[in-house]
Amino acid sequence: MKADRRLSLSDFDFELPPELIAQRPVAVRGESRLLSLRRSVAQPGAPSASSTDLPTCQLTDLRFSDLSSLVPAGDLVVLNTTRVRHARLIGTRPSGAPAEVLLIHPGTDGTWIALGRPGSAMQPGKRIRIGPDVFVETVAVLDDGNRAVRFIGMTAEEAIASFGRLPLPPYVTRDPDQHDEDRYQTVYADREGSVAAPTAGLHFTPQILATLRAGGARLGTLDLEVGPGTFKPVEVERLSAHVMHPERFEISADLARAVVETRDAGGHVWAVGTTVARALESAAERGGRVRATNEETRLFITPGYRFRVVDRLVTNFHLPRSTLLMLVAAFAGLEEIRVAYRHAIAARYRFYSYGDAMLIVP
């Protein structure tokens, strides 16, 4: 889907007080705040700390634990079960100067695709020492700026197990600690493969999931490997010129069947996170169905895109000028998101990966 040519990068900019960038998760998983954005007037008696009526939507301040009561029986809630890989490797150059490598995914020929800094340390033939007699050597610089690297002295799996660190987002200005080992993974994380967590899922607890099931909601899962492009701001003013980084995703036959059954029964499909939304929309077929598939997606969703599968979206608050902000603006409406973000800032919601959540019901 092509970006709306009338939109520009400045349409997705906003000022965020630095103190609202969450540096740590809330003390207890599941106790985050939840801002509900609905494109119609809320029903009387809905739980609310405050609300703001708008011409096309209502904002309601909730707790994330309220989500269980908002999902009707028969609706399908889809989760991304990817697990964050310990993909950050800290090392030194031959001069002793520091360097680091971020592994993205395995290549097809025994190499790995990676990023690193400084870029001068990752030129073909250069090595970064990550442990005693263990090195990462750059084999090639790829067209997209990524590097193909190989490991010397250990296998990649051994090096990750021995030296790999959890790659916290760049706006978390501290080193990861043992607490992050638990809290920067979802409680349902399964197959390792991402460099970042599907952060909307970080709010869920086993109890919240059990309450959803007890209320008659269906839970489905898919796997999308989150890449470093999730943190990369758009750098071209004309959105139609932006090129998305590919991300691998897999949708099972069971999930494809659950989407069909939910649709046929008149239920709604809830995407937990922008990663789930992109995967479902990338595999969309007629009638709101999805195909079972294992492929890469470069889908770039901006306002003007017509969603074919996703009916409800649970998401965190996103970086300005980011593709994730553009996706939620496409889902909720650009002006609605501007109003919601102004409300969230005024109400001191916590932003980004370890921050609070939004529920969008268009």
Residue 171 in any domain: the answer is no
Which three-class secondary structure state does DSSP give residue 137?
strand
Number of independent structural domains in the chain: 2
What CATH number should be reported for the domain holding residue 131? 2.40.10.240
Residue 283: the pLDDT is: 98
How large is the C-alpha radius of gyration of the chain?
21
Residue 31 in any domain: the answer is yes
**Does residue 356 share a domain with residue 282?**
yes
* Tens digit of each residue's pLDDT (9 = 90 or more) over 169-188: 999 999 999 999 999 999 99
C-beta separation of 168 from 228 below 8 A: no
**Does residue 230 share a domain with residue 134?**
no
**Does residue 280 share a domain with residue 323?**
yes
Which three-class secondary structure state does DSSP give residue 22?
coil
Residue 229 has pLDDT above 90, yes or no: no
Model pTM?
A: 0.92
Last residue of a domain, one of 132, 163, 194: 163
Question: Band of the pLDDT at 4, cuts 50, 70, 90?
Answer: low
- Asked which of 125-134, 160-169, 184-193, 226-235 is least confident by mean pLDDT, the reply is 226-235
Which strand (E) or helix (H) includes residue 212?
helix 206-214
**Does residue 142 share a domain with residue 17?**
no
* Structural domain boundaries enclosing 140: 88-163
Mean pLDDT of the region 67-76:
98
Residue 42 has pLDDT above 60, yes or no: no
Question: Band of the pLDDT at 303, cuts 50, 70, 90?
Answer: very high
Give the pairing of strands 51-53 and 218-224: unpaired
What CATH number should be reported for the domain holding residue 356? 3.40.1780.10
Residue 169 in any domain: the answer is no
Residue 129: the pLDDT is: 98
Mean pLDDT of the region 5-34:
94
Residue 137 has pLDDT above 50, yes or no: yes
Residue 170 in any domain: the answer is no
**Does residue 194 share a domain with residue 65?**
yes
